[in-house]
Amino acid sequence: MNNLTKMEIRKPAHDVFEAFVDPDQIGNFWFSSSSERWEEGKTVTLRYEEYGAQGDIHVIEMISDQKIVFEWGREDGEPHLVSITFKNTDSDLAGTVVEVNEDGFDENDPELIPKLVGNKEGWVYMLTCLKGYLEFDVNRLRGALVK
**Class of 2-136 in CATH:** alpha beta
Q: Name the more confident of 5 and 90.
A: 5
Residues 116, 30, 5, 137: is their CA dihedral positive or negative?
Answer: positive
Task: Locate the domains of the chain by residue range.
Answer: 2-136
pLDDT digits (tens, 9 = 90+) for 16-66: 999 999 999 999 999 999 999 999 999 999 999 988 999 999 999 999 999
Share of the chain above pLDDT 70, in %: 98
Is the model's pLDDT at 90 over the cut of 90?
no
The pLDDT of residue 67: 99
Alpha-carbon distance of 1 to 23, in angstroms, equals: 30
Report how far apart the first and last C-alpha atoms of the chain are (Å, whole number): 23
CA distance 33 to 47: 5
State the chain's mean pLDDT as an integer: 94
Whole-prediction pTM: 0.94
Give SS3 for 65.
coil
Measured torsion, CA atoms of residues 145, 122, 71, 59, in degrees rounded to the nearest 10: -70
91 has pLDDT over 90: no
Give dist(CA 123, CA 142) in Å, integer. 12
Q: What is the C-alpha separation between 38 and 18, in angstroms, rounded?
A: 10
Output the pLDDT for position 78: 81
CB distance 50 to 143 below 8 Å: yes
